[in-house]
Amino acid sequence: MTDIALLAKKLDDAAARAQATAQISDNEKYSLEDAYKVQAALIARRIKRGERRVGVKMGFTSRAKIAQMGISDMIWGRLTDRMVVEEGGAIDFAKYVHPRVEPEIAFLLGRPLEGLVTAAEALEAVDAVAPAMEIIDSRYKDFKFSLEDVVADNASSAGFVVGAWQDMDVDLSNLGMVLEINGRPVQIGSSGAILGHPIRSLVAAARLSSAAGEPLEEGWIVMAGGATAAEWLHPGDYVRTEIEALGSVAFSVKG
C-alpha cells in the first residue's frame, strides 16, 4: 500500500531543504490516482502552514515540453501564494534544488469555471491575461521522473511570476514569445504552441480541477504551461520574457 502521507512529507521536506530526493517510482509502483493524492496531501501540508491557494498550473501542454521531458500526458498542479515571485523581483538560488524557467501565459478568472466548458465559455470567464514565467524545480535527482513522480511533486511547481494584466481583447492564437537570459534570446516560440491555442489549457484546467472536486474559482490564476522547453537558472541571471501584444515580465536570480 502506498503511504500517501509519508510520500507527501518526503517531497515537502526535499523542497524545504532544497535537496533532491530519489524518484518515488524507484522504490514502488503506484497509480496516477495515488500520485494526485500525494500532491493533494503535499498542498494540504502547505495550506496548514498558512499558505493560500491561488490557482492551478497546467503541464505538458506543448510539444516542446513533451519533447524535453519525455512525458506526453497533460498534468496539473496547485498554486499557492508562497509560489508568487514579484514581477521585477529576485529569487534566492539557494532555496531551490536545480531551478529551471519557462515562458508561459497566465489567465486571471473573473468568475468560477466548472467541469466541461467550451473555449468560448472559458474565454468569457477570463478577466485578464498576462505574460508570465514559471520556475520549475523538480524535487527529484537529476530532474528526472515518471509521470506519477512529477504529478506527486506538484508538477515540479516552485514559483511563478506574472507581468501586467491585459484586457482579453487580444487574439491569443499566435503571439510570438521570447525568453531571454541576460539579454540573450534562449527560447523562441508562439502562444499557439500551447495546445494550438492557450485557451484550451484553461478548458483542460476547468475539467481536470473539477474532476478532482476543486472547480476553478473566481480570482484564481491559471498558468497555461510552457510554450517552449525550459532553461536552467544560474545565480546572477536576469530573466525576461516578452510576448507579442502582451508585454514583458522579468525577475532576477540572486545567490
Q: Write down the least CB distance from residue 230 to Mg ion, Å.
A: 7
Residue 47: how many other CB atoms lie within 10 Å: 12
Residue 125: how many other CB atoms lie within 10 Å: 21
Q: Which segment (35-43, 107-115, 150-158, 245-253) binds ligand OOG by CB under 6 A?
A: 150-158
Number of residues that bind ligand OOG (CB under 6 A): 14
Cα dihedral sign, 192-99-52-2: positive
Enumerate residues 210-229 that contact ligand OOG by CB under 6 A: 225-226
* CB nearer to ligand OOG: pick between 189 and 226: 226
Q: Which segment (19-27, 83-91, 131-139, 177-185) binds Mg ion by CB under 5 A?
A: 131-139
Q: Is 187 in the site for ligand OOG (CB under 6 A)?
A: no
Q: Is 102 in the site for ligand OOG (CB under 6 A)?
A: yes
Separation in Å, CA 38 to CA 10, 58, 69 = 10, 17, 21
Q: Is 231 in the site for Mg ion (CB under 5 A)?
A: no
Match 484564481 to its residue by C-alpha cell.
Answer: 220
Q: Write down the least CB distance from residue 77 to ligand OOG, Å.
A: 7
Cα–Cα dist 29/71, whole Å: 17
Roughly what angle, to the nearest 10 degrees, separates helices 4-17 and 32-48?
60
Q: Is 156 in the site for ligand OOG (CB under 6 A)?
A: yes
DSSP assignment of 132-158: EEEEE--SBGGG---HHHHHHTGGGEE
* CB nearer to ligand OOG: pick between 97 and 125: 97
Q: Is 60 in the site for ligand OOG (CB under 6 A)?
A: yes
Pick one of 41, 56, 101, 150: the residue that binds ligand OOG (CB under 6 A).
Answer: 150
Q: Is 189 in the site for ligand OOG (CB under 6 A)?
A: no
CA angle (109, 114, 7) in 5-degree steps:
90
User: What is the contact surface with ligand OOG in residues (CB under 6 A)?
Assistant: 59-61, 65, 69, 102, 134, 136, 138, 150, 155-156, 225-226
